[in-house]
Amino acid sequence: MSISLSSLILLPIWINMAQIQQGGPDEKEKTTALKDLLSRIDLDELMKKDEPPLDFPDTLEGFEYAFNEKGQLRHIKTGEPFVFNYREDLHRWNQKRYEALGEIITKYVYELLEKDCNLKKISIPVDATETEPKSFIYMSEDALTNPQKLMVLIHGSGVVRAGQWARRLIINEDLDSGTQIPFIKRAVDEGYGVIVLNPNENYIEVEKPKIHVQSSSDSSDEPAEKRERKDKVSKETKKRRDFYEKYRNPQREKEMMQLYIRENGSPEEHAIYVWDHFIAQSAAENVFFVAHSYGGLAFVELMIQREADVKNKVTAVALTDSVHNVWHQEAGKTIREWMRENCCNWVSSSEPLDTSVESMLPDCPRVSADVL
């Protein structure tokens, strides 16, 4: 007969219950409490107990990976591409490992933006206090002073940050496929100022403060015997809670809370904020946008909120697989007409590049990007 890991873990509890059930009324109360505990234990969560520690390197070298001369991520010793299933049958652990690597790559791309593209990191909100949550964007030296043209880049939703199009492509393909760096370098070479938005950096995460429950005996006028009984129940409750937490969260992962960044709590808010404080203040006579996926939706929202200003300053918009919807976003007739004349959405398609692709939305033309 085979015995599962979860059965072995629960065995002492079952034995304890059997012993308790032989006792009196007080013991029955404990039985009820234990049954309640068992009903809340997730057996899938129990299996986490056998996971390796969620303790990953904080550098590419620590992961034994590096980007080669072609911008491809390769194992330092074997030269092989990144392997997601590093440990079989441990999907959660493998996912955590992938996420840890992704955070390192985000920092690596930030370094490339500053060192290879010569962009400056600009903190926002511009009037932030020292203690409040902050985000940032990247700008070229001449972003606000270039009198002729300015390029603005907006990525999509998810885990990507400033300078990235897709983390998956960076890891599995190369830096040119997954980052905005080729766009930035070409724009600079052709005399554009550049602003790189960071619409997913909406909050910072901090550890949740531990809640300290004040003992009922501290401020109660109840008889001493009643207070002692209450304190005993409170201690037993805490003991059961700690016991359950040990199995629910075996690796003691910190519980986090999100503190949103003022006026930048969503991609849409971020786009409007950067427009008001930077793009609208730039000297450029012609502003051009490149917006991917949800970035396209954020641009349409910017148009809705700042229609006259956008029309006056923006010359053209290149969208890639944009998920905007002029009906759901309630874009007016004048916006839709402007988009037909000044925007183009390159979408995933097997058709040759720039072939017209039919759309049910009455806004900008859709053409093939010649990729699936």
Catalytic residue, candidates 135, 140, 293, 368: 293
Token reading at 192: 């554009």
Q: Which residues contact 131 (CB under 8 A, 6 or more apart)?
A: none
Q: In 3-state terms, what secondary structure has residue 142?
A: coil
DSSP 256: E
Is 349 designated active site?
A: no
DSSP 164: B
Only one residue has tokens 């859709």, namely 366
DSSP 356: B
Contact between residue 27 and residue 17 where contact means Cβ atoms under 8 Å apart: no
What is the C-alpha separation between 304 and 329, in angstroms, rounded? 8
What is the C-alpha separation between 140 and 152, in angstroms, rounded? 11
Token reading at 272: 């409007």
What is the C-alpha separation between 106 and 113, in angstroms, rounded? 11
What is the C-alpha separation between 136 and 124, in angstroms, rounded? 5
Only one residue has tokens 């059997």, namely 18
CA-closest candidate to residue 168, choices 99, 92, 244: 99
Token reading at 316: 């053209």
What is the C-alpha separation between 198 and 162, in angstroms, rounded? 5
Q: In 3-state terms, what secondary structure has residue 314?
A: strand
Q: Which residues carry out catalysis?
A: 293
